[in-house]
C-alpha cells in the first residue's frame, strides 16, 4: 500500500487452497435412492496432491482510491488465474455534499463465475439532523452472473452472497458519544454513552430458488444432495431489531437487545422441517467492568442464538455439533438461558443454565424425515443444562 495526499494505491497478492470436484467425471458415481429421498454420490479424491484439494488458487488485485476530506472515489480489479475471463471489478463513491449532515455511498460490483458469480449495486444515504442522531436508508440489488452454481463446484454450490435478492433497510441511531460507535462490531465493549439506542429494519425479497446444498463427507469420499435440483424456496423475509446500551449508572453497564422477524432454514425446503419461522429473541445484561456480569436470554420459535456480545464475549450455545436446527428448520418452542460471571483478575468463573424445548408438531410431509433425524440423535425434544466453567486468560 502506498498513500499520497489525495491518493491511496494498494496491490495485493493472495494464494489459497480451493476444493474442487468434477461430478461429471465418470469415476464419480451419482445414484438416487427413492426410499431415502436424496441423491448420494461417491467420488475419487485427487491423487496428487494426496489431499482433498487439487490446486492453489492465485489472485492478484489492484485497488486505487482518490480521496479528499469529504469525498472519495475507489476502484478495484482482481484477476483469478483459473481462466482468462475470471475477473472481479468494482467501484465505490463515498461523498458528503453537506459535511456532517448528508452522506451518500454508491457501490457496484461485478464478479465472474469463479470470482464469486454475482453482480451487485447498492445505494445508501445517511442523514444527521443533529449531532447525536443518524438516520440511514439503503437499497441493494444482487443477482448471479451465470445461472445456478450447481454445476460449478469450484465454489460452494449454495452461496448466499450471490443469491438473487432485493434488499431494503433502514436504521435510526441515537448515540451522543460518536467516537464509540454503537454500530461498531464490538460496541458492547466500547460504547461509553449514558444511553445509546439503535433501531433497524430489513426487508429482503428472494424471487428465485437457490441451488440445492451439497453435503460433502471427505473422509468417506461421498456427497449427498437432498431433494433434487432446487434448494431454498423464493421468499420474502423481514427483520426488526432494537439494541440499547446504557452507562447511566457507570461503572455499571446495561445491554438490552430485541429481535423479531422471519427467518429461512439453510437447507432445501424439500427436506426442511419448517421452511421459515418467526423468531422473537430478547437479551438483557448487567455488568460491572472487571468485576461481574449477569445476563439472561429468551427466544421463541427460533433456531439460533444471536451473537450479542463483542469479539471476546459471545453467548455460546449449540443444540448439536452440526447446527441441524438451523439447517433443516427445526423450530425451538422456546429457549431460556441465564448466566452469572465473576471476574478474578485474568480469570473468571461462569455459571450458566440453559433450557430448550423443541416443538415436534410438524406437518405430515416431514414425518418420515423427522424419524430419520431422531435416529441420528440430531434432535432433542427437551434439554436442561447447568454448567460451571473456569477460564484463564493468557
Does the structure show a pLDDT above 60 at 22?
Answer: no
Which pLDDT score is estimated for 385?
A: 86
Phi and psi of 352, rounded to 5°?
-130, 140
Rounded Cα distance, 226 and 40, in Å = 8
Q: How far apart are CA 118 and CA 148, in angstroms?
A: 11
For the chain, give the percent of residues with pLDDT over 70: 70
What is the arithmetic mean of pLDDT over 338-365? 81
Task: Tell me the pLDDT band of 373, cut-offs 50, 70 and 90.
Answer: low
Structure confidence by residue, pLDDT tens digits, 137-158: 999 999 988 765 444 443 444 4
Residue 103 in this model has a pLDDT that exceeds 80: yes
Q: Is residue 102 a contact partner of residue 135, using CB atoms and an 8 Å limit?
A: no
d(CA 258, CA 276): 19
What's the pLDDT score for residue 108? 97
- Average pLDDT taken over every residue of the chain: 79
More confident residue, 237 or 221: 237
| Rounded CA separation 215/40 (Å) | 10
CB 183 within 8 A of CB 174: no
What would the pLDDT profile of 299-320 be if each residue is shown by its tens digit? 998 877 777 766 556 666 554 5
Dihedral angle sign, alpha carbons of residues 265, 270, 272, 277: positive
247-274 pLDDT, tens digit each = 999 899 999 999 999 988 877 766 677 7
Class of residue 283 by CB neighbours under 10 A (exposed 0-12, middle 13-18, buried 19+): buried
- Check residue 184 and give its pLDDT: 79
| pLDDT for 362 | 54
Question: What pLDDT does residue 190 have?
Answer: 84
Which of the four pLDDT bands, split at 50, 70 and 90, describes residue 201?
Answer: very high
Q: What is the pLDDT of residue 376?
A: 47
> Helix count (H) and strand count (E) of the chain?
3, 21
Q: Are 226 and 267 in contact (CB under 8 A)?
A: yes
Q: Over the stretch 157-187, which tens digit does the pLDDT of each residue have?
A: 445 678 889 999 999 999 998 888 887 777 8
**294 with 276: CB under 8 angstroms?**
no
| DSSP assignments along 18-68, one per residue | EE---TTSTTSEEEEETTTTEEEEE-PPPSSSSSSEEEEEEEEEEEEEEE-
pLDDT for position 160:
63
> DSSP 3-state assignment of 366?
helix
Name the one residue in this structure whose C-alpha cell is 465472474: 112
**pLDDT at residue 35, as a whole number:** 58
Beta-bridge mates of residue 125: 104, 137
User: Running DSSP on this structure, what letter comes out for residue 174?
Assistant: E
Q: Tell me the C-alpha distance between 313 and 287, whole Å.
A: 12
What is the CA angle 380-383-385, rounded to 5? 140
The alpha carbon of residue 110 and the mean position of all alpha carbons in its chain are separated, in whole angstroms, by: 21
Lowest-pLDDT choice from 35-44, 229-238, 252-261: 35-44
Q: pTM value?
A: 0.80
pLDDT-derived band at 298, boundaries 50, 70, 90: very high
Amino acid at each position: 500500500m502506498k498513500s499520497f495526499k489525495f491518493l491511496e494505491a494498494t496491490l495485493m497478492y493472495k494464494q489459497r487452497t480451493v476444493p474442487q470436484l468434477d461430478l461429471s467425471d465418470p469415476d464419480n458415481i451419482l445414484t438416487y435412492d427413492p426410499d431415502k429421498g436424496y441423491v448420494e454420490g461417491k467420488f475419487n479424491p485427487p491423487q496428487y496432491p494426496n489431499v482433498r484439494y487439487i490446486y492453489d488458487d492465485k489472485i492478484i488485485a489492484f485497488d486505487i482510491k482518490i480521496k479528499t476530506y469529504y469525498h472519495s472515489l475507489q476502484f478495484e480489479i482482481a484477476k483469478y488465474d483459473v481462466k482468462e475471463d475470471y475477473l472481479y471489478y468494482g467501484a465505490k463513491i463515498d461523498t458528503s455534499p453537506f459535511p456532517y449532515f448528508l452522506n451518500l455511498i454508491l457501490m457496484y460490483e461485478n464478479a465472474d463465475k469463479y470470482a464469486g458469480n454475482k453482480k451487485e449495486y447498492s445505494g445508501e444515504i445517511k442523514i444527521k439532523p443533529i449531532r447525536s442522531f443518524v438516520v440511514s436508508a439503503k437499497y441493494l440489488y444482487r443477482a448471479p452472473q451465470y445461472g445456478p452454481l450447481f454445476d460449478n463446484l469450484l465454489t460452494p454450490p449454495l452461496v448466499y452472497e450471490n443469491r438473487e435478492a432485493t434488499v431494503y433497510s433502514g436504521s435510526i441511531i441515537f448515540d451522543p458519544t460518536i467516537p464509540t460507535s454503537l454500530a461498531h462490531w464490538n460496541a458492547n465493549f466500547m460504547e461509553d454513552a449514558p444511553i445509546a439506542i439503535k433501531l433497524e429494519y430489513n426487508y429482503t425479497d428472494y424471487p428465485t430458488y437457490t441451488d440445492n446444498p451439497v453435503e460433502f463427507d471427505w473422509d468417506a469420499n461421498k456427497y449427498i444432495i437432498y431433494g433434487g435440483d432446487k434448494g431454498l424456496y423464493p421468499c420474502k423475509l423481514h427483520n426488526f431489531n432494537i439494541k440499547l446500551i446504557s452507562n447511566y449508572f457507570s461503572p455499571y453497564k446495561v445491554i438490552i437487545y430485541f429481535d423479531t422477524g422471519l427467518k429461512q432454514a439453510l437447507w432445501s425446503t424439500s427436506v426442511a422441517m419448517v421452511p421459515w419461522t418467526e423468531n422473537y429473541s430478547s437479551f438483557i445484561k448487567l455488568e460491572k467492568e472487571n468485576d461481574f456480569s449477569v445476563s439472561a436470554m429468551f427466544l421463541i420459535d427460533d433456531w439460533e442464538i444471536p451473537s450479542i456480545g463483542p469479539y471476546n464475549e459471545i453467548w455460546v450455545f449449540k443444540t448439536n455439533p452440526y447446527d441441524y436446527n438451523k439447517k433443516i428448520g427445526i423450530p425451538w418452542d422456546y429457549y431460556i438461558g441465564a448466566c452469572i460471571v465473576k471476574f478474578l483478575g485474568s480469570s473468571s468463573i461462569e455459571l450458566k443454565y440453559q433450557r430448550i424445548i423443541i416443538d415436534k408438531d410438524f406437518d405430515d410431509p416431514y414425518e418420515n424425515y423427522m424419524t430419520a433425524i431422531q435416529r441420528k440423535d440430531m434432535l432433542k425434544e427437551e434439554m436442561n443444562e447447568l454448567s460451571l466453567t473456569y477460564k484463564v486468560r493468557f
